[in-house]
Amino acid sequence: MTSTAVTEPAATANRFDWSISHADDTLVVTFGVERAGIELPAPLRIGVELFFQDNGLSGPTIAIDGPVGRQIRLVTGISKADRAIEYLQRCGAVLHVGRTVWPLPPGLAWSAGGGHGHRIPPLVAVAAAVRAVRLYTPDGLE
């Protein structure tokens, strides 16, 4: 049971205030104060990623391969974003805070990186991107 893993350098993890470790069958992520991971449903995730790239907001993420694939985006500003968190959860998002453990089936690859930006986007920016995607895509009208 070995996972193929490509980890980010410790300096990058320290810069963004999260830590990542893994064993053969688990990935453990600890988010720092005011940090969280937000995981969006696949249809929204693609639109949000394009929105973030267009607006220079692409920051650190964890990608977990698999049939569906998962992407967890590091965000900040979670203590002052109650309404944004509620909205994202209504849209199917999952918020990961503190210490999170994901099981990794055998052979499943994961990676973590700093993205294209040098900052962590605030959680409210993810909510704004989700709203834009839902408003301006034919299948995503609210």
**Residue-level pLDDT at 86:** 96
Inform me whether the pLDDT recorded for 8 exceeds 70: no
Tokens of 87: 């909205």
What percent of the chain has a predicted confidence (pLDDT) above 90?
Answer: 32
Dist CA 42 CA 134 (whole Å) = 13
pTM of the model: 0.79
**Residue 3 vs residue 7, higher pLDDT:** 7
Q: Identify the weakest region by mean pLDDT among 29-43, 65-79, 120-134.
A: 65-79
Tens-digit pLDDT profile for residues 23-69: 778 888 888 888 999 999 988 998 998 888 888 887 888 888 877 77
Within 10 angstroms of residue 57's Cβ, the number of other Cβ atoms is 22
